[in-house]
Homo-oligomer: A and B are copies of this chain.
Amino acid sequence: MKDLAIQFGVKMRERRKVLKISQDKLALLTDIDRSYVGRIERGEVNVTLEKVYQIAEVLECDAKDLLP
């Protein structure tokens, strides 16, 4: 299931880059710890559905678009 986390992290980072939002800003807007945002993007953590939706909201996309 590690692949899943990695693929989610890649999609999240891609979308963040499209919007030109820094990890810091994303952390602030999602109210997720900054270091945790980095860990999510590197696929190091098993993110919860709640966080997926929080992130998708800030990244102005559908949560489904961030899934592998």
Contacts and interface: CB of A to CB of B under 8 A. Distances in A.
How many copies the complex holds: the figure is 2
Given A64-B67, A67-B63, A47 B49 contact: yes
Interface residues on A, range: 10 to 19
Contact of A4 (B1, B47, B50): B50
Contacts of A67: 49, 63-64, 67
11 contacts: A1-B54, A4-B53, A5-B49, A46-B48, A47-B48, A48-B48, A48-B49, A49-B52, A49-B67, A63-B67, A67-B67
Interface of A: 1, 4-5, 8, 46-50, 52-54, 63-64, 67
